[in-house]
Amino acid sequence: MSSIRVLLADDFKDWRRHVRSLFKTRPEWQVVAEAADGLEAIQKAEELKPDLIVLDIGLPKLNGIDAARRIRKLSPSSKIVFLSQDNDPEVVQAALGTGAQGYVYKTDVRSDLLPAIKAALRDRQFVSRSLKGHEFAETSEEEVPHRHEVLFYSDDTVFLDTFARFIAVALKAGDAAIVLATKSHRDSLLLRLKAEGMDTDGAVQQGTYVPLDAADVLSNVMVDGLLDPVRYFGGLGGLIESAVKAARSEQPRVVVCGEGVALLHAAGAADAAIRIEQVCNDLSKTYEIDVLCAYPLNGFHGEENEHDFQSICAEHSAVHSQ
């Protein structure tokens, strides 16, 4: 029986020891090396060209998602199974988007790691059973489309939860986030992100988290009550370029979360809001960005708002109403 050469990459030695213990039932799976950070994982993957890599996401020096992207180029025949304590569906999709064959939530390691490895060695996708309620597309990183989504929210809790999740996924992956919101929403988002363990102060200093006052941004791009699309494109484009330079990921993306369009709509400037949505679509053709816009649901009551609602939805790749 031929052996399967395995590289274990996790910053916790006890986890690596635990995975080794699970392999006792499969003596043909031989751990040939261990790594405690992302850069070490890349170096050992390039050197050893293992058949299989069990890879954590929350690695120091370089996160697992970025490490997987590099490994796929340096050792393309190596199968990758992520073993992570993060069960956010968007993080799972980002991990699988690197071309990895499996994703195991650490809580499910005893029941799911061995089946995941078996599936990966047969070049089949495996996702932990506790994540089975979600659908994960089998796409490579290059095939991930740009997202320009809109949220019609019923209350601030929905707004903050959705924005915080969108932002956290980006920051965890080493990408950047730009937020255009009111002061109260910006302050509340900071609290939510910190509660999730995000180092927002560090991200602000590094330039990977850019919170901006939506009204201030609008004041710089509105001329005589009309949007100047060139000024808006150039201003936001400059911010995106700076955020890309600050991002730590190998192929940086920037998420842009904003409610400036909602402020315009509430002020009776629906045409300007829709024009901004169109400019965001233009920006996505130039930059690697994902955009999330938000409007309060109570701003679209009555037949007189139906046309605005339909026009706004038409500019987005996905519409969420909660």
CATH number at residue 82: 3.40.50.2300
Local structure of 63: helix, strand or coil: coil
The DSSP string of 2-41 is --EEEEEE-S-HHHHHHHHHHGGG-TTEEEEEEESSHHHH
Cα dihedral 260, 262, 268, 270 sign: positive
Q: Token match 């989504």: residue?
A: 149
> Which one of 68, 100, 131 terminates a domain?
131
Local structure of 102: helix, strand or coil: strand
- Please give the structure tokens belonging to residue 317: 């790749």
Q: Alpha carbon of 221 to those of 26, 43, 205, 208, 273: distances in Å?
A: 63, 47, 26, 23, 12
Rounded CA separation 81/126 (Å): 9
Shared domain check, 151 and 101: no
List the chain pLDDT tens, one digit each, 322 residues.
457 899 999 998 888 898 888 888 888 888 999 999 989 999 999 999 998 999 999 888 888 888 998 898 888 888 999 998 888 888 888 888 888 988 988 888 888 888 888 888 877 888 887 776 555 455 444 444 567 888 899 999 999 988 988 888 788 778 899 999 999 999 999 998 888 788 889 989 999 999 999 999 888 888 877 888 888 888 888 999 999 898 887 678 889 999 888 998 888 888 888 888 888 888 888 888 888 999 998 888 777 778 888 888 888 877 888 8
Contacts 24+ apart (CB under 8 A), 261-267: 261/293, 261/295, 261/312, 262/293, 262/294, 262/295, 262/296, 262/299, 263/182, 263/214, 263/215, 263/218, 264/218, 265/295, 265/299, 265/308, 266/296, 266/299
Nearest residue to 58 via CA among 29, 33, 87, 78: 87
Would residue 10 count as lying in a domain?
A: yes
pTM: 0.58
Shared domain check, 159 and 301: yes
Shared domain check, 81 and 52: yes
- 193 φ/ψ sector (left φ>0, alpha ψ -120 to 50, else beta): alpha
pLDDT at res. 58: 86
Shared domain check, 183 and 86: no
Rounded CA separation 180/106 (Å): 35
Would residue 139 count as lying in a domain?
A: no
Shared domain check, 167 and 61: no
Rounded CA separation 64/37 (Å): 8
Rounded CA separation 55/31 (Å): 13
CATH at 247: 3.40.50.300
Would residue 39 count as lying in a domain?
A: yes
Q: Alpha carbon of 37 to those of 57, 63, 66, 76, 268: distances in Å?
A: 10, 8, 12, 20, 52
Would residue 140 count as lying in a domain?
A: no
Shared domain check, 316 and 193: yes
Would residue 218 count as lying in a domain?
A: yes
pLDDT at res. 132: 62
Angle between helices 270-286 and 229-246 in degrees, nearest 10: 40
pLDDT at res. 140: 44
Shared domain check, 235 and 167: yes
Shared domain check, 211 and 102: no
The number of angstroms, rounded, from the C-alpha of 174 to the middle of its chain's C-alpha atoms is 9
Element containing residue 140 per DSSP (H, E): none
Number of separate domains in the chain = 2
Q: Alpha carbon of 288 to those of 34, 236, 285, 304: distances in Å?
A: 33, 13, 8, 36
> Which one of 98, 131, 164 terminates a domain?
131
Task: Domain of residue 149: give its range.
Answer: 145-321
Shared domain check, 164 and 101: no
Cβ-in-10-Å burial (0-12, 13-18, 19+) of 199 comes to middle
Rounded CA separation 52/40 (Å): 16
Shared domain check, 160 and 104: no
Shared domain check, 19 and 62: yes
> Which one of 104, 131, 158 terminates a domain?
131
